[in-house]
Amino acid sequence: MPMKGRGTSDLREIDRWDHGVGWLAYPDETMQRASHAVEIDGDVWLFDPVDAPGVDDLFAEFGDVAGVVVGLDRHKRDSAALANRHEVPVYVASWMTGVADELDATVERFGADLADSGFEAFRLVDRSVPPWQEVGFYHDGYDLLVVPESVGTVGYFCARGEHLGVHPMLRPFPPRRVLSRYDPDRLLVGHGAGVPVDAGDELRTALGNARRNLPSAYARAFTSMLSN
């Protein structure tokens, strides 16, 4: 199975709930790049989308697209293509550098709030070595947390027995201080399917076990990379 899918996609739905839906454009890829559409008051916000035939029909039932959001400096993905198709801006955090210049689309910056979406936006990771700029999102009304990269459910994020794991590069120093402020019911992630209920418990477990389970997680990640 390739690390990242290319060519003809095979759209697979994930994370459907009353106010949104997610998808994997290439479900057979190792990275399991997950994209999400979240509806708020009839407006749809797309998070880190990967384009695929039929994807517009997947989230059309929730309303019109209001914006496309880049949550990680490496997650430009197909945000410009989706934004241009729906004639909306790509939203990029005000402190995130370099991303806006690489997007062939209208860009809007945001600070502590994602425009008028109701999402609180917070700086999750911001470091230069290795380069990593990640913004998280929390919606109090939905008790929903969106984490683009720091945690995920895909196999190479997780040690044996884990359902949610910390990214291998962050396991030695996981972002506990930032994420421990949140106790969401639902969690959406950028790699793999999300956690639909009691996500706060899963998140605390993942952060608490990040270092303890590091050897098992690294062994599993290494095996996953070798299989590609």
SS (H, E, C) 75-104: CCCCHHHHHHHHCCCEEEECCCCCCHHHCC
Please count the residues of the chain. Answer: 228
Residues contacting residue 153 through CB under 8 Å, at least 6 positions apart: 163, 164, 165, 189, 191, 192, 193, 194, 195
Confidence of residue 159 (pLDDT cuts 50, 70, 90): very high
Sign for the CA dihedral angle at 127, 89, 81, 150 comes to positive
Q: Which residue has the higher pLDDT, 164 or 227?
A: 164
pLDDT at 7 over 80: no
Q: Given a cut of 60, is residue 202 above it in pLDDT? A: yes
Confidence of residue 4 (pLDDT cuts 50, 70, 90): confident
The mean pLDDT value for 46-57 works out to: 97
Helix, strand or coil, per DSSP, at residue 222: helix
> Would you state the pLDDT for residue 224?
64
pLDDT band at residue 130 using 50, 70 and 90 as cut-offs: confident
In the chain the domains, ranked by start, together with CATH numbers, are 12-227 (3.60.15.10)
Give residue 8's pLDDT: 77
| Across 5-14, 39-48, 192-201, least confident range | 5-14
The share of the chain scoring above pLDDT 90, in percent, equals: 84
- Express each pLDDT in 61-92 by its tens digit: 999 999 999 999 998 999 999 999 999 999 99
How far, in whole angstroms, is CA 134 from its chain's centroid? 10
Separation of alpha carbons 200 and 15, rounded Å: 17
pLDDT band at 225 (very low <50, low <70, confident <90, very high): low
The predicted model gives 105-126 an average pLDDT of 98
The predicted pLDDT at position 31 comes to 92
- Whether 62 contacts 37, CB under 8 Å: yes
Supply φ then ψ for residue 146, to 5 degrees: -115, 120
First-last CA distance in the chain: 6
Is the pLDDT at 95 greater than 70? The verdict is yes
Residues in a beta bridge with 146: 137, 188
pLDDT digit string, tens, across residues 17-31: 999 999 999 999 999
Q: What is the pLDDT of residues 203-217, one digit of tens each?
A: 999 999 999 998 888
